[in-house]
A and B are shown apart, each in its own frame.
Chain A
């Protein structure tokens, strides 16, 4: 067991991917985020999971965040072996939020991604189960977006 700090983890990522990893976001953020471009999220996650010094085998949480002009997808990962953790963040454009899925890396991502798609409307490309999960299938809109307008009624029942 060798716990690494966020900076060391970031250095390792930088060493592997070079410019593929954009920056480390540490200011008033706990745990710190490594910001990566959406296209390389799968490779970064696979490296995080499989590198013997990192071994991030436990995907804690995937959250979508609506920053009004863009979307962010935040992945929190944890290593049960080394007991360190870090966040990975990808920024997506607001008009077409699409990101490759990570359920090929961690199976835990299946439901977390489904939920993010359902409530935030972020599409996970290549997901094995790209359906709504919490809301009914014929629900319109994605409620956690900041510009969501509550519908007047659903199936004739007033909301």
Chain B
């Protein structure tokens, strides 16, 4: 019983770690897409910031400096996306893909030029990386029944970015639904003409939304290279940007449902790691590929079964042109 409890706790613990970059990236996508700009370039922005963060952290030895530069890199890429899609009304999907591709090539190229380690950054250690934090009383309460392990195993012991991601959800929700900025972002994604005629610049709002996207994406990427991991490796995002996008659509562009979609992806991922090779009574050992496919199968089933039609922001994907 206690074992089973701990087992579940550890799975959930892993879920949080895996979900963190997804949550941050999906929220990043939310700001962009809520403002009407499709963001298929989450992958590239994350990868770019993972590289920038690791590069900076390895040079300066400071994880915080790394995070800052990682965020800056993601913002820069976000602005490039804005320049193409907002200023020049380019196709948003093409721009996002172009950014993904450019970054996938540029990061290792620069990495090789700077560090001569085959496109990777040197492994980070010490202050160059965000270490796990032990929350107050975690050790003291560890022995308490139920609550003890819950607190010390599950809540405590993550790096700071995990907590940032946890905080990002309510903050993002608050910004989106309770502030002027959020109101305008939502409006510009639904009906940019209404925003324009209300005397607000559509372009400025979209750019600002993209800055927020950059910030969140930057944190997500930094998590991969200087918090969860300890250095940059080429293509290290491994499709997480696309998964985050899927979570965003799954969550119907709303912060809390998106969080749950990310947690679901992460949970099935943590679960499949533990089911691989497990002997399931009555069935035997299932081929590993099927276990690995489990998260995806589950997602499809859930989508088909429970989640209704997702209605995207109305103006998404269309460059703003004054028309009637």
- Tell whether A pairs with B: no
Interface of B toward A, CB cutoff 8 Å: none
